[in-house]
Structure 1
Amino acid sequence: MINRQLAPEFRAIDNISLIRPEHQQLGNGANVFSFNSGDQELVRIEWIFGNLSFDPAKPLLNMAVNSMLTDGTTTLTAAQIADKIDFYGAFLQVDYGYENSQVTLYSLNKHLQHTLPVIADILQNSIFPEKELETFKRNQQQKLQVSLQKNDVVARRTFNRAVYGTTIFGYASEMADYQTLQHDDMLAHYKKMYQPSNCTIVVAGKVEPQTLTLLAETFEKNWTNTAVPAITNQPDINAAADLFYFTEKPEALQSAIRIGTPIINRSHADFQSLQVLNTVFGGYFGSRLMANIREDKGYTYGIGSGLASFKQVGSFFIATEVGADVCKLAVTEIEKEINILKTELVPEEELSLVRNYMLGSLLGSLENVFSHADKFKTIYFAGLDYDYYDRYTATVKNITSDKLIQLANTYFHFDQFYKVIVGKY
């Protein structure tokens, strides 16, 4: 019997073990990575495609094509696709990201023979019906209209455009852009992007030999590459020259603040150390930004900082919404906390807490085999290997306050940060 009057024994995390995938390549060029673990007769299968090169003249194609994959094929309507998936207790979703788009299926193993052909049909025979396309345009315009009333959304869009320029990372859709979507353009984009040579398939769950055999039979024989390869290289990123952006909203009760800068990405040797510095500064609920601007000053319900990492670039950002009357004061306090990081060593007690938090978060995030597959995707699409996580744990456990103050002085220059305010200032 557990004595619940005693706190659990504290144990340091020595190492973290990750499940590594089995790999095979189908004859058509699609790569399959499988993670076999667990007793439940369930698998998650992801078909991940690199987005085609961003075209400013037709900026919505990557997003729109992915979003409408399930809206009809040459043999099935959108309703029939949904009915087939629901009938077998499966779940299907499509997701768009800046660099990759994907189709995800959760299915019981015993029903894969029925659910996989639906996915094959979607990836080979989608037609983007005109009626559904018009509905998609109208719905997206309505959502955009609502979103643009939110200060934090406007701030994020402005910040991304400043940091990432006129690229897929900095693009922010406008109402008129949806009228550029044409059926023929979407179909041509679809045929280039959704082909096996541009596809990575990640399978996680109870992956038995017959699972992989069925997957190969369904997605190898009849799925062929087109004569036009998928070009997924993105244009160079040129950040804006202006550093300050203010969108005034005289009636605003709150002002949205977004501050940050382009920075190193995950492949840089300093990135993992910078993650520790970011956690100290604003990366968790006990961070300095939260302690100062939420707990001490009461300017906001929440504030945080983060690191974004893409193949070409990374960024560091601080985001919050504060009372409109204290916006300038909040920005001053943010700068103050930046300067403290650059001039004062992080106390060992605080650093120890952050170390435990970060290692505990990593360990806690590995709750099932799907989480292990997600960790693999993070490094695979960044061109890294599993040594990344070994270096991460070693860095978190051994980093010093001297290293953190050095990093702060190298990467954090508040006068060179982009600053976006939406509301009152």
Structure 2
Amino acid sequence: MTNIDRTLAPDFKAIDNITLLRPERQKLHNGCNVFCFNSGDQELVRIEWIFGNLRFKPAKPMLNMAVNTMLTEGTSTLNAAQIADKIDFYGAFLQVEYGYENSTVTLYSLNKHLHHTLPVILDLLTNSTFPEKELETFKRNQQQKLQVSLQKNDFIARRDFNKAVYGDTIYGLGATLDNYKSLQRDDLVAHYKEMYQPANCTIVIAGKIEPEALALITDTFDKNWVNGPTAADTTQPDIQPATELLYFTEKPDALQSAIRIGTPIINRNHPDFQQLQVLNTVFGGYFGSRLMANIREDKGYTYGIGSGLSSLKQGGAFFIATEVGADVCKAAVTEIEKELNLLKTELIPNEELALVRNYMLGSLLGSLENVFSHADKFKSIYFAGLDYDYYDRYAATVKSVDSAKLLELANKYFHFAQFYKVIVGKY
């Protein structure tokens, strides 16, 4: 039996390359693109129908979210309970998910039951009726959830920050009670008919895909699914960030203050983005970051603080988020600025940078645990208009970017005086 000296940390092992599964692609006659990731031993598939959201309308801002969320509330042949019962009976799982840019219907099903479960999905995508009774229930539930959320400082801070950075767009939407009250069934039906059609859909299939199963999927969603007379308008208004930089919502009784600080920034299509990801990780992108070491470990101002880069089709943002004791809010903002300025004036030590490199490459490798995660990586680049060389460049960039380049990037993109600063609580 080998004795292990547990007083010694294991050696780092460099990650030489990261191999991702690539999909097989076909296009259906109705214009729907289908991508297949065929891998795994279990007779299980995940099928995603992904739709581009329609153009944001400030006068009717909740339509994309409401239509997607209510897809399972009833069709011309099945009510909500019957839909759920049919899916459950065959041990399948169905969910709908709304995002800023896309809305998704996801089915997990055994191959042998697809001939029972796929017709339910086709029914949702072609015959959803948005019953008036269920719509009223949806509106009440959403208003109640919003009222609860508006009591949370971090929720308000995130809304105010997004509104400042992204303006009057789908990215900057902060729903109000009146937005939900004004939802009308006729608007939902019209939105549904324009958006949920094959030319505006990408199907991503992952799992053990038997030839018979693939044929069943493609036949079901080609022969029985046709486009409507109006093509889906998925263009979006231009982003117009706010001119005001400081947003303070005072809550005299607050024990904690929510802080959100940041700025509009490049997205993943820009050549600087991957190097900026390394810089962000050093600053606040993981548990060993500088923000955590200073504001949590050293000062004890918070349980957690972090920074991040959001990449969207039309833009992106760099942000810092935390909740701190109300009495130390101003001190925390000062320390955040201090840490940001250090990135602009001092080279990152090689030992610290080596740790971050290993963390980032290890995180990428660790995120590829099954065929579903490989499909998720594909979606990230496909909907951004990128190819697989993005991940090759990512690994190369993480390994090669040096402290001098990161110092240059910090001075190029991080100007604290020009950052939006949102405080909810006491300041």
TM-score, reference length from structure 2:
0.98
Give the % identical residues.
78
Mapped to 2, the partners of 1:151 and 1:254 lie a distance apart of: 8
> 1:282 — aligned with what?
284
Paired amino acid for 2:13: R
Distance 2:397 2:144 in 1: 46
Question: Residue 412 of structure 2 aligns to which amino acid in structure 1?
Answer: T
Partner secondary structure for residue 235 of structure 1:
coil
The reply to whether residue 401 of structure 1 matches residue 398 of structure 2 is no
Give the structure 1 partner of residue 325 of structure 2: 323
Structure 2 counterpart of 1:71, which letter?
E
The runs of at least 4 aligned residues of structure 1 exceeding 4 Å deviation read: 1-9
Task: Select 2:386's aligned residue among 384, 387, 393.
Answer: 384
TM-score by structure 1 length? 0.99
- 1:127 pairs with 2:129: yes
| Residue aligned with 1:70, SS | helix
2:43 matched residue in structure 1:
41
* Distance of 2:372 and 2:10 partners within structure 1: 28
Opposite residue 417 of structure 1, the aligned amino acid is F
Q: Which residue of 2 aligns with 1:256?
A: 258
CA deviation digits over 1:283-335, x for unaligned, max 9?
A: 00000000000000000000000000011101000000000000000000000
1:361 to 347, 363, 367: 363
The CA deviation string for residues 179-234 of structure 1, in whole angstroms up to 9 with x for no partner, is 22100100000000000000000000001211210001111112100110000010
| Match for residue 18 of structure 1 among 17, 20, 23 | 20
In structure 2, the residue matched to 1:421 is 423
Q: 1:171: which partner in 2?
A: 173
**TM alignment of 1:30-179, pairs within 5 A:** 30-179=32-181
What amino acid sits opposite 1:321 in the alignment? E
Which residue of 9, 16, 29 maps to 1:27? 29
Q: CA RMSD in A?
A: 0.9
**Pairs within 5 Å for 1:221-240:** 221-240=223-242
Letter in 1 for 2:43: E
Counterparts of 1:396 and 1:388 in 2: how far apart (Å)? 12
Matched position secondary structure for 1:231: coil
* Equivalent of residue 376 in structure 2, options 374, 377, 380: 374
Distance 2:123 2:354 in 1: 52
User: Once structures 1 and 2 are overlaid, which stretch shifts more, 363-372 or 206-215?
Assistant: 206-215
Provide the secondary structure at the position in 1 that maps to 2:72: coil
Q: 1:273 aligns with which of 264, 272, 275?
A: 275
- The CA deviation at 1:348 is 0.2
Q: Letter of the aligned partner of 2:287 in structure 1?
A: F
Report the CA distance shift for 1:35/1:3 in structure 2 as closer, same or farther (over 3 A).
Answer: farther
**Alignment partner of 2:258: what SS?**
strand
CA shift in 2, pair 1:274/1:73, >3 Å: same
Aligned residues: 425
**Shift of residue 10, structure 1, vs aligned partner:** 3.5
Give, as a single letter, the amino acid of the residue that structure 1 aligns with 2:73.
Answer: D
Equivalent residue for 1:332? 334
Distance across 1 between alignment mates of 2:228 and 2:121: 19
2:414 corresponds to: 412
* Counterpart residue identity of residue 200, structure 1: T
| Separation of aligned partners in 2, 1:19 and 1:28 | 27
Cα shift at 1:9? 5.2
**Could you tell me how far 1:4 is from its partner in structure 2?**
4.7
Give the Cα–Cα distance (whole angstroms) in 2 for the partners of residues 332 and 207 of structure 1: 55
| Distance (Å, rounded) in 2 between the aligned partners of 1:226 and 1:296 | 60
Amino acid across the alignment from 1:81: I
The match for 1:205 is 207
In the alignment, the residues of structure 1 paired with residue 125 and residue 5 of structure 2 have an alpha-carbon distance, to the nearest angstrom, of 56
Find the partner of 2:345 among 343, 346, 364: 343
CA distance in 1, matches of 2:367, 2:396: 18
Q: Distance in 1 between the 2:13 and 2:249 partners?
A: 50
**1:35-76 CA distance string (max 9 Å, x none):** 000101100000000000000010000000000000000000
Q: Say which SS state the counterpart of residue 85 (structure 1) adopts.
A: helix
CA distance in 2, matches of 1:140, 1:97: 16
**Closer, same or farther: CA 115–3 of 1 in aligned 2, 3 Å:** farther
For 1:2 and 1:240, how far apart are their aligned partners in 2? Answer: 63
SS of 1:220's equivalent? helix
Structure 1 CA distance for aligned equivalents of residues 210 and 397 of structure 2: 37
Offset, 1:8: 5.2
Question: Structure 2: which 5+ residue stretches go unaligned?
Answer: none
